[in-house]
Chain A
Amino acid sequence: MTSVAFSIWLPLFVLFYVAVMLYWARVAATEGSGSDGFFSAGHALAPWISALVIAGCGMAGWFVLGGTRQIAEHGFQMPSLLIGGIAIALPGIVFFKRLWFVAERLRVSSQADIFRLYFHSPFLVVVSTIVAILFAVGFAGLQVRALSQLAEALTGGAVPQLLASVVFGFMLFAGAGIGGMRAIGYFGVIQTVLAFTAIAVLAGCVLFYSGGFAALNADLLKLAASPDTAPLFSVSGVIHFTSGLGRGGDPATANTALANLSLALALMGFQASPLALKLVLSTRSPNGIAAGQTWVAAGFFGALVAFAIALIGAAGLVDKGLVLDALFERLQNGSPWFAAWIFIGVLASVQLLAGLALFVAAEGLVRHLYRPYFNSRLSKRASVTLTRIAIAVLAVLAMLMQNLTPVTLSALAALALPFAFQLWTPLLGVAWVGWFTRPAVVTGVGFGIAGVILTEPLGYEILSFFGLELPWGRWPWTIHSALWGMAANMTATLIVSAITNRKALGAEAQEVRKLFLGPLASSTKARGLRATAWSVTLVWFFLAAGPGLVFGNYAFVATDGDTQTWLLGMPSMWAWALAGWVSGLGLIWFLGYRMEMASPVHVVIPPYREPLRLRKDESQSERQRVTILVITGIVGFVLAVLIAFSFGG
């Protein structure tokens, strides 16, 4: 077969993918009527669609592109990656059901709306929008960049990276911009199925090239027997009090148990982000949440991560010719149709997340910031048009950053998950902890964001620009920024809640509290299991993601003199992670069903009727806001320039 015949498959499959995407965008646009249909699919997505799509956009692309690379480079030092399915599903169990009912009661369809009505806090609305933008431009943008590079490699340079990223950007706009939320939901089903299949097929190819599971593990055992590479198979202690990466911290010993725990917590940020909630709140019923989070996300997707992603990464560890990029090139040379099919699957997973993130970010900018605070007379139709324009602008911005400023892109991407994790406190305040006050969560989230920024490269680079050198680098004490942020966040939230009036709730918040004390109150049986639930959850975190991981270093190893054997025919830490995934699945089931945190409920929730108020003319105050925004921007810029000139390097 000629090289042309070999390279035709990828463009052919991509064309087919685009055709199917446009078909579903057209179907969605035809079915959608009015802005409600565009922004929230008319709250009519079927529960099974949401369950599947939430699992699909739960960072499948990140696990393929980033997770496999992490294992190929660092081995099994970060087993919390392999329990990613559980870490991602857990917030869904904790929050989705209650937040769906809150949205149903208040008749809203996004996280920012919930924050605006429950806490009356523009700050939280802004943070929610920023998180969506970080996912759209940074997190997904970085993955699109990696895919563009892969497309260039697979086509032998015939499709340069720039062209590939432009095409992918156009596809994102076409999918999300034309059909809105309904198109994301509909096409998301196909993207999810393609993504999951691609991961499974890729793992199958890896097994084929490695000579089977036993042969792969025999090679891994040889690596484990060598003193140089043996550390790749164990967690290096509980904590190291280093100054962090870039400030003397040694990357080789940075993968401690606390690094694992904090990474798992960062992964738990995804389902607290406005992206996942957008899907949940566009669903017509909450009765698929338990099944979706337990069996699809934690079960099926969790199994893919624990087995398939681990296999692909492990193959790259023993043979650099099987690292993802090299693996794709090898497939392209031998079976270009398989390479194209798998590439489409990975593309689908990245585009699902990127499309949803672009949509939520654009909606946040237009519907949650511009319209309520700067132009309340904006019609619904104009909101839709403006949102489409915002999607296009964000897609172009992401595309430009992918090609011109990859370092900044990477720094922004690193903030997405830890920032999203900081939203746990306001979400807990809405769903479970009614005594978290508005000032407390606002202060907490502010401190949390500061904590994240100060322990990530973006923060210390910015401060360095202004002449302030932090004594620590990235992730000091081998703790991920998500946990540093949450430590500051939770401390501030608890202290401020203790000293502020906990009964000062707005009318909407009082309605929500009544809802949780009334029709959604836990049953006596579930309340009786609370102590058990706390114990089981803490034990699971300790053993599967926390300090207990050090037991996994030796749990399934038999040593006879100098000879080491793996009792289960696989690295002990991998087996430990698999045990963590199985027990985690049980935990998710227990919390979801037995504790009724996500179980189906059949109650009708009447809409909350706001007291009638005379509408004020806001145009004067809106003009003032614009003036204040412009002046603040100018003053901030001038101050930044002055400080940089005075103290900057």
Chain B
Amino acid sequence: MSKPAIPTTSERDLLVFAIWAVLGFAGLCFLLEGFSRDAYLVSLAGIAAIVAGFAAHIVINAIFATGFRPGEAALGIGTFGVIALAFIGGWATGGLSMSDYWSGLTLFAVLALGMPIYLSTRYGLRGAFSRFHIRPADSDTAP
């Protein structure tokens, strides 16, 4: 009976799926509930769940000494884009109440702030800046 170690990527992916199955769905449900009932606090609970999901995802990444996988980043950015489009569409057609409006803005603000915070925790303040800033010398040596 051989006992090969399980691929750690599977364990990490399982944890990621499990976290989003709880916190992602919770965030989505509370956000929808908040929008449906025009209850800012309920939406805020949804946003808190999504932030908690990101935090847990980052903790798992740290445990397994890895970052977000390209697929995860693409899914995250894609979802962000879809939500942004839906929000702008709702705003343009006048379908948003004040509570919906503030809920949406809070969500985007939190997500937008979250990205530099994540980068600074992963790469440090200076390193995070370097992820975007390409020095001319780097460009010169590029083929």
A residues apposed to B, CB below 8 Å? 1, 20, 24, 27, 31, 42-46, 49, 104, 107, 109, 186, 189-190, 193-194, 197, 201, 284-285, 335, 337-338, 341, 344, 607
CA distance in complex: A634, B4 (Å): 48
Identify which of residues 11-67 in chain B touch chain A, using a CB-to-CB cut-off of 8 Å.
11, 13-14, 17-18, 21-22, 25-26, 28-29, 32-33, 36
Sorting the interface of chain B by its residue count into under 10, 10 to 19, 20 to 34 or 35 or more gives 20 to 34
Across the A-B interface, the 5 shortest Cβ-Cβ residue pairs: A193-B18, A284-B3, A337-B29, A337-B32, A107-B1
B21 near A45: Cβ-Cβ < 8 Å: no
Interface membership of B6, Cβ < 8 A: yes
A43 near B14: Cβ-Cβ < 8 Å: no
Q: How far is the CB of B67 from chain A (nearest CB, A)?
A: 20
Interface membership of B2, Cβ < 8 A: yes
Report A-chain residues with C-beta under 8 Å of the C-beta of B17.
Answer: 20, 24, 189-190
Interface membership of B10, Cβ < 8 A: yes
B6 near A45: Cβ-Cβ < 8 Å: yes
CA distance in complex: A607, B1 (Å): 8
Q: How far is the CB of A184 from chain B (nearest CB, A)?
A: 13
B6 near A189: Cβ-Cβ < 8 Å: no
Q: A20-B17, A341-B29 are in contact. Are A43 and B11 (CB under 8 A)?
A: no
CA distance in complex: A189, B18 (Å): 7
A337 near B28: Cβ-Cβ < 8 Å: yes
Report A-chain residues with C-beta under 8 Å of the C-beta of B18.
Answer: 189-190, 193
Q: A189-B17, A337-B32 are in contact. List 20 more A-B contacts (CB 8 A).
A: A31-B7, A42-B3, A44-B3, A44-B6, A45-B6, A46-B11, A49-B11, A107-B1, A186-B10, A186-B14, A190-B21, A193-B21, A201-B26, A284-B6, A335-B36, A337-B28, A338-B29, A338-B33, A341-B26, A607-B1
Interface membership of B113, Cβ < 8 A: no
Give the number of A-B contacts (CB < 8 Å): 65
Interface membership of B142, Cβ < 8 A: no
Report A-chain residues with C-beta under 8 Å of the C-beta of B7.
Answer: 31
Interface membership of B5, Cβ < 8 A: yes
Report A-chain residues with C-beta under 8 Å of the C-beta of B4.
Answer: 42, 44
Question: Which residue of A has the minimal Cβ distance to B32?
Answer: A337
Report A-chain residues with C-beta under 8 Å of the C-beta of B3.
Answer: 42-44, 284-285
CA distance in complex: A44, B33 (Å): 42
A104 near B1: Cβ-Cβ < 8 Å: yes
CA distance in complex: A45, B25 (Å): 27
Question: Which residue of B has the minimal Cβ distance to A109?
Answer: B1
CA distance in complex: A344, B29 (Å): 13
The contact sample of 28 A-B pairs, CB cut-off 8 A, is: A20-B17, A24-B17, A27-B10, A31-B10, A42-B3, A42-B4, A43-B3, A44-B3, A44-B5, A46-B6, A49-B6, A49-B14, A107-B1, A189-B18, A190-B18, A190-B21, A193-B18, A193-B21, A193-B22, A194-B22, A197-B22, A284-B3, A285-B3, A335-B33, A335-B36, A337-B29, A341-B26, A607-B1
Report A-chain residues with C-beta under 8 Å of the C-beta of B1.
Answer: 43, 104, 107, 109, 607
Question: Which residue of B has the minimal Cβ distance to A336?
Answer: B32
Report A-chain residues with C-beta under 8 Å of the C-beta of B33.
Answer: 335, 337-338
Q: How far is the CB of B39 from chain A (nearest CB, A)?
A: 12
CA distance in complex: A597, B28 (Å): 43
CA distance in complex: A344, B28 (Å): 14
B21 near A335: Cβ-Cβ < 8 Å: no
Question: Which residue of A has the minimal Cβ distance to B33?
Answer: A335
Q: A193-B21, A337-B33, A341-B29 are in contact. Are A42 and B2 (CB under 8 A)?
A: yes
Q: How far is the CB of A7 from chain B (nearest CB, A)?
A: 15
Question: Which residue of B has the minimal Cβ distance to A342?
Answer: B29
CA distance in complex: A46, B21 (Å): 20
Report A-chain residues with C-beta under 8 Å of the C-beta of B22.
Answer: 193-194, 197
Report A-chain residues with C-beta under 8 Å of the C-beta of B13.
Answer: 27
CA distance in complex: A607, B11 (Å): 28
CA distance in complex: A42, B1 (Å): 8
Q: How far is the CB of A85 from chain B (nearest CB, A)?
A: 20
CB < 8 Å neighbour of A194 from B10, B14, B21: B21
Question: Which residue of A has the minimal Cβ distance to B19?
Answer: A193
Question: Which residue of A has the minimal Cβ distance to B8?
Answer: A46
B25 near A341: Cβ-Cβ < 8 Å: yes
Question: Which residue of B has the minimal Cβ distance to A40?
Answer: B1
Report B-chain residues with C-beta under 8 Å of the C-beta of A344.
Answer: 25
Report B-chain residues with C-beta under 8 Å of the C-beta of A197.
Answer: 21-22, 25-26
CA distance in complex: A162, B21 (Å): 28
Question: Which residue of B has the minimal Cβ distance to A13?
Answer: B25
Interface 0/1 of B54-96, CB less than 8 Å to A: 0000000000000000000000000000000000000000000
CA distance in complex: A107, B4 (Å): 15
B2 near A189: Cβ-Cβ < 8 Å: no
CA distance in complex: A335, B46 (Å): 14
A190 near B29: Cβ-Cβ < 8 Å: no
Q: How far is the CB of A424 from chain B (nearest CB, A)?
A: 26
Q: A31-B7, A107-B1 are in contact. Are A335 and B14 (CB under 8 A)?
A: no
Q: How far is the CB of B111 from chain A (nearest CB, A)?
A: 20
Report B-chain residues with C-beta under 8 Å of the C-beta of A335.
Answer: 29, 32-33, 36
CA distance in complex: A607, B3 (Å): 13
Report B-chain residues with C-beta under 8 Å of the C-beta of A45.
Answer: 6
CA distance in complex: A31, B6 (Å): 9
Report A-chain residues with C-beta under 8 Å of the C-beta of B29.
Answer: 335, 337-338, 341
Q: How far is the CB of B10 from chain A (nearest CB, A)?
A: 6
CA distance in complex: A109, B28 (Å): 41
Report B-chain residues with C-beta under 8 Å of the C-beta of A201.
Answer: 26
CA distance in complex: A31, B8 (Å): 12
B2 near A1: Cβ-Cβ < 8 Å: no
Report B-chain residues with C-beta under 8 Å of the C-beta of A104.
Answer: 1
Q: How far is the CB of A638 from chain B (nearest CB, A)?
A: 46
Q: How far is the CB of B46 from chain A (nearest CB, A)?
A: 10
Interface centre among B11, B26, B28, B29 (most CB of A within 10 A): B29
Q: How far is the CB of B19 from chain A (nearest CB, A)?
A: 8
CA distance in complex: A193, B2 (Å): 29
CA distance in complex: A344, B25 (Å): 11
Interface centre among B11, B17, B26, B36 (most CB of A within 10 A): B17
CA distance in complex: A197, B22 (Å): 7
Q: How far is the CB of A217 from chain B (nearest CB, A)?
A: 26
CA distance in complex: A444, B29 (Å): 53
CA distance in complex: A337, B24 (Å): 12
Report B-chain residues with C-beta under 8 Å of the C-beta of A194.
Answer: 21-22
Question: Which residue of A has the minimal Cβ distance to B17?
Answer: A190
CA distance in complex: A329, B25 (Å): 20
Question: Which residue of B has the minimal Cβ distance to A189?
Answer: B14
